[in-house]
């Protein structure tokens, strides 16, 4: 897989929230970067790869934030649902006849 293909796949994986695909794409990206010799001709390609990596990292931070917000919402919903399931604190027994 080329560096550009791996970068594109990593970006798509972050957008989809597919962590297995992201892992594979990042491994392929690292291997592709390691295989590029550092020459004057390769510097623009490596610079573009670095910028794309920063964009992927930024998208990952946003995904992490979104997942944290969603987890908190789910916890609030779960807490609201479970508080209504317990026995009432004040039983309503009428002693008037």
User: Are 27 and 73 in contact, with CB atoms under 8 Å apart?
Assistant: no
Give me 3's structure tokens: 């560096």
pLDDT tens, residue by residue, 22-54: 999 999 999 999 999 999 999 999 999 999 999
Residue 50 covered by a domain: yes
Q: Report how far residue 79's alpha carbon sits from residue 86's, in angstroms, rounded to the nearest whole number.
A: 11
Any domain includes 90: no
In a domain, 19, yes or no: yes
Predicted local confidence at residue 91, as pLDDT: 62
Task: Establish if 92 belongs to a structural domain.
Answer: no
Range of 75's domain?
3-83
- Residue 31 domain flag: yes
Q: Which helix (H) or strand (E) holds 46?
A: helix 43-83
- Percentage of the chain beyond pLDDT 90 is 80
Q: How many structural domains are present in the chain?
A: 1
CB-CB contact of 13 with 25 (8 Å): yes
CA distance 13 to 17: 6
The Cα angle at residue 22 between residues 16 and 28, in degrees rounded to 5: 140
- Does the residue 27 lie in any domain? yes
Question: pTM for this structure?
Answer: 0.74
């Amino acid at each position: 897989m080329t560096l550009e293909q791996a970068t594109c796949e990593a970006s798509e994986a972050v957008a989809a929230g597919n962590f297995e695909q992201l892992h594979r794409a990042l491994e392929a990206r690292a291997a592709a970067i390691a295989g590029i010799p550092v020459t004057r001709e390769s510097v623009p390609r490596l610079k573009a790869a670095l910028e794309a990596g920063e964009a992927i990292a930024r998208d990952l931070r946003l995904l992490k934030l979104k997942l944290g917000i969603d987890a908190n919402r789910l916890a609030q919903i779960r807490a609201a649902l479970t508080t209504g399931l317990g026995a009432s604190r004040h039983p309503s027994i009428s002693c008037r006849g």
